[in-house]
Amino acid sequence: MKRSFIREILEHTSSNTISFAGGLPDVSLFPCEALQSAAHTALQNAESLQYGTSTGYAPLKEQIAGHYCNRGFPTTPENILITSGSQQGLDIICRYHDGASIVIEKPSYLGALNIFKLNNMKDYSVPLEEDGIALEGFRQSIAKSKLAYLIPDFQNPSGRCYSDAHRKEIADIIEASQTLLIEDAPYSELYFHAPHKSISHMLPKQSYHLGSFSKVLSPALRVGWIRADVELLTPLIAYKEAMDLHTSGITQRMVCEYLKDDTSFEKHLQTLRVAYQEKMHYFCQQLDLHLPSFEYTQPKGGMFIYGRFKGVDTRALVQQCLAKGVVFVPGAEFGGANDEIRFNFTYSSFEEIAEGLKRIKSVLSSN
C-alpha cells in the first residue's frame, strides 16, 4: 500500500518550502473569532464533553438537512450521517461495499483511490473530459459496476465542473442501471459564478452524497457527512460505530453554534469565493508570465489548476523542485499522464505564488 504523496510531502517539507501540493484552504480566511465564540458557547454546556449519538449531533443534522431543502433537495435529519470528515464517509461506504466494482474518473482524488485499494475494489477508470466523465466509457463501465464515484464540482485534481446537461445524462444512465452513485462534493460551495444542482438530487434513492465543512470552514474540525436515503444509510451506522463510535461532539457543536448565524456563514462563503477567484486569476497570470509552456484551463471554482508541460516527466521535475523549495503534485499520482501537474492556488500568499513559479521556471530552464 503506497502512502499519499501529498501527506508524505506535507511531513517532509520545511517551513521555507512553497507548497502548491495539498488541497489546503487559505489560513488567513479561517473565521477564527466566530469559531472561538462558537467553541466558548458549546463549552458552557457540560453535555458537550459527553459521548454522543452515532449518527451525529441532532441539531447539526437538522441544519445540514435544512441546507439541502433550501437548495430544493428534500432532506430530513434521518438522511444524514455525520462523519469525521468526508474522507471517513467514503471509507464507511466502501467498507460496506467491500470488494465491489466501481467506476471512477481518470484522473481522480488520491485519497479515494487508496480507499478503493484497501477495500479490494475493482475500479474502472473513464477519462474525464471538459464537461464531465466521458459518456460512452461511463455507459460501458456502469454495466459491470455496482458503484460510481464522481466529483462533479471543481474536481480534485482536474478542477473541472460537470455541465448541467452532462449531469442529467449521468443521472439517466445511473437510473437505468442497478448502480449506486457516490457523489463527493467538498468543493460545491466554492463556485466563482453560480452553483450547480447535484447529480444526487436527480437520484435520491440511488445515491450517497458526501459533504464536508473542511474546505468552507476548517479541515481541523473533521466534520463531514453522508446524505442518503434511509434504506441506504441505515446499514452504514454499524460501520461508523466500529470505526470511532461517533464524530467529535465538541467540533460538531462548534459548527452547529457557528451555523446558527445563517447570514454570517453565507457572508463567509461569499468572502471565500471572491478571494479564491482573485487568487486563481493571479496564479494564472503568473503561470502565463513565467511558465508559458504550461497548458491548462482556468477553473470556475474550487482550489486547483490542472495542466501539463508537454513531454516533461513531472515526477522527476518535482524532485528537482523540492530541492529548490517548491512543491506541487505530479498528475501521475492521481492516475493522470506523466507530464501533468496539479497546482493548489488557495493556500499560498500572492508573494509565494510568484516566487514559487519563478523557482519552477529556474529548474526547467536549467534542464
Write out the residues near ligand PLP by the rule CB under 6 A.
Answer: 23, 85-87, 109, 111, 151, 156, 184, 186, 212, 214, 219, 224
Give the nearer residue to ligand PLP in terms of CB position, either 180 or 190: 190
What is the number of the residue whose Cβ is closest to ligand PLP? 85
Question: Smallest distance from the beta carbon of 89 to ligand PLP, in angstroms?
Answer: 8
Question: Smallest distance from the beta carbon of 221 to ligand PLP, in angstroms?
Answer: 9
Residues 6+ apart with CB under 8 A from 25: 214, 215, 218, 219, 272, 303, 346, 347
> Residue 133: CA atoms inside 13 Å, Cβ hemisphere, count?
32
Question: Smallest distance from the beta carbon of 130 to ligand PLP, in angstroms?
Answer: 19
Give the nearer residue to ligand PLP in terms of CB position, either 23 or 52: 23
Question: Smallest distance from the beta carbon of 94 to ligand PLP, in angstroms?
Answer: 12
Question: Smallest distance from the beta carbon of 243 to ligand PLP, in angstroms?
Answer: 13
SS3 category, 340: strand
Q: What is the DSSP letter of 108?
A: -
Give the nearer residue to ligand PLP in terms of CB position, either 17 or 212: 212
Type of residue numbered 146: K
Give the nearer residue to ligand PLP in terms of CB position, either 302 or 307: 302
Q: What is the DSSP letter of 263?
A: H
Q: What length is written for the chain?
A: 367
State how far Cα 46 lies from the chain centre: 33
State how far the Cα of 225 lies from the Cα of 181, in Å rounded to an integer. Answer: 15
SS3 category, 101: strand
State how far the Cα of 101 lies from the Cα of 36, in Å rounded to an integer. Answer: 44
Give the nearer residue to ligand PLP in terms of CB position, either 186 or 249: 186
